[in-house]
Amino acid sequence: MNPVSARGSGRRTTPPRLRAALVSIATGVVAVGTTVALASGASAGTTLGAAAAETGRYFGAAVAVNRLSDSGYVGILNREFTSVTAENEMKWDATEPSPNQFTYTSGDKLVSHAEAHGMRVRGHALAWHQQQPRWTAVLSGTALRNAMLNHVTQVATHYRGRIDAWNVVNEAFADGGSGGRRDSNLQRTGDDWIEAAFRAARAADPGAKLCYNDYYTDGQNPKSNGVYAMVQDFKARGVPIDCVGFQSHFTAQSPVPADYQANLQRFVDLGVEVQITELDVEGSGSSQADSYSRVVRACLAISRCTGITVSGIRDTDSWRSSATPLLFDGNGTKKAAYTSTLDALNAGGTTVPPTPPPPTAAPPTTTPPPTTAPLPTTTPPPTTAPPPADGHCTASVSLSSWPGGFVATVTVTAGPAGLDGWVVGLPLPSGAAVTNAWSAQHAGTAGDVSFRNVGYNGSIGAGVGTEFGFQGTGDGPTGTATCAHA
Ligand code: G2I
């Protein structure tokens, strides 16, 4: 599936089985949920995927790849769902069991299955404090940061062009009332680990939507307020984030909050899409069915709530199977919750607007004004060699490299006078080249590479730092970075 079609343009075609349903409705033989209130112009889908597609949305499931050999399981998957999320197969422990040794067999199986059946793929998850490989336990500081960035870069590069949306960072906020970050080995590498992960993911797969994903963020509470503030900050500073995933694991103690829709809406108002990413509801019968219905109706009321994923297929497939939290029972029979979900999807709602492709580098760099007159032939070519360090600023580099490539993250810190424009020189070894930079404009080759501030990050107060980064081929920089006032 190419990334453009995977994004969902909002355009809809009517699949054959849906046309059949339309005909039966037109003739008054309504085979689907008699309580369906069809929105004007809408039509009934007979599967979750078809019903969601009527408003331009997907309906997905978390899939365990080892169950793809179970015909009952795969039959429901292929019939009902239009998106898949790997339950465990794309996590760090699964994909990089030894440092810089990557295993994609299981994840690839899922992606191939999805592509063969026209389903989207949600990647889960590039950076998370859980399910890390054992070898990360001995790492900290720069070594762990670099290992994480290399992981993000490698995995996102492997799946480049085949992922609709990545959960780039999962569950990074604390559960208590602090609204702050969760303590973890990744958090201890510095508060900027999340934005560094997003930048590396964007550089590796510019076509994928990049999402932050978490639980207990489904209503307005200190935790969701913390995530909200982060997204607001990322948007203001041009950190590449496209979406927020709301896991939506509901239990008797933690039911669908009254302000569920309002909470989704406030995130959308920040300029990101939202998705329901791991929906399950403990319980049975009509109360479970009502909760599913409420979740679906809330999403459909928001045009930029673009899809819903349930956290498995049959109750017996669930990670918490004793809660019987899913839409099909252990025999694969549709539950009341299935019917209420289908009915809510068929009741219609807002249509998902077309999504423009994200920028290929983030944030967008300032475009030079168009030249109206040809340059005089006597104008010397612009020099790209960076000026020598002048004491107005310093630059420090953190490097994540692997055979044949690297990602460098550079922090520019202003001296006591502050700065109004900067240029960093960072020589590369011969044979190395910059392929992509974010939050800076790069020029020159190998020994003469320079990076200049873009529009928003030129002015820095005394002692304050700003970060940019770049990806390259060959060996990464080994020398000292110079920084000067531009
Ligand atoms: O509700 C749990 C979910 C919370 N949000 C993030 C999700 O990624 C997470 O999913 C669950 C998986 O569904 C489980 O399948 O994450 C668990 C681990 O945190 C997964 O459980 C693990 C077991 O802990 C391992 O012992 C087992 O080897 O599943 C592995 C594969 O079956």
Tell the residue number behind the tokens 């700065």, with chain if given.
419
Helix/strand/coil percentages in the chain, nearest 5? 30, 25, 45
pTM of the model: 0.72
CA atoms within 13 A on the CB side of 32: 30
Instruction: Tell me the Ramachandran region of residue 199: left when phi exceeds 0, alpha when psi lies from -120 to 50, beta otherwise.
Output: alpha
Q: Please tell me the residue having the least CA distance from ligand 1 atom 18.
A: 131
- Alpha carbon of 124 to ligand 1 centroid (Å): 11
Contact 312, 277 (CB under 8 A): no
Going by pLDDT thresholds of 50, 70 and 90, the confidence category of residue 455 is: confident
Residue 458 has pLDDT above 70, yes or no: yes
Question: Closest by alpha carbon to 406, among 456, 458, 340, 478?
Answer: 478
| CA-CA-CA-CA torsion sign (216, 315, 303, 5) | positive
Tell the residue number behind the tokens 């999320």, with chain if given.
85
- Alpha carbon of 88 to ligand 1 centroid (Å): 6
Residue 370 has pLDDT above 60, yes or no: no
What is the per-residue pLDDT for 467? 81
Q: Please tell me the residue having the least CA distance from ligand 1 atom 23.
A: 319
Q: State mean pLDDT over 395-410.
A: 79
What is the per-residue pLDDT for 205? 97
In sequence order, the 6+-apart residues with CB closer than 8 A to the CB of 249 are: 215, 278, 279, 280, 311, 325
Going by pLDDT thresholds of 50, 70 and 90, the confidence category of residue 43 is: low
Residue 59 has pLDDT above 80, yes or no: yes
Q: Which atom of ligand 1 is nearest to the CA of 124?
A: 8
What is the per-residue pLDDT for 356? 61
Of 132-136, 154-158, 401-405, the one with minimum mean pLDDT is 401-405
Instruction: Tell me the Ramachandran region of residue 485: left when phi exceeds 0, alpha when psi lies from -120 to 50, beta otherwise.
Output: beta
Residue 149 has pLDDT above 90, yes or no: yes
Q: Which atom of ligand 1 is nearest to the CA of 320?
A: 1
**What is the SS3 assignment for 134?**
helix
Q: Which atom of ligand 1 is nearest to the CA of 125?
A: 8
Residue 313 has pLDDT above 70, yes or no: yes
Calpha distance 195→128 (Å, rounded): 13
Residue 312 has pLDDT above 90, yes or no: yes
Q: Please tell me the residue having the least CA distance from ligand 1 atom 10.
A: 87
Q: Residue 19 belongs to what H/E stretch?
A: helix 16-26
- Alpha carbon of 404 to ligand 1 centroid (Å): 33
C-alpha dihedral (220, 223, 225, 227), degrees to nearest 10: -120
- Alpha carbon of 319 to ligand 1 centroid (Å): 7
Residue 391 has pLDDT above 60, yes or no: yes
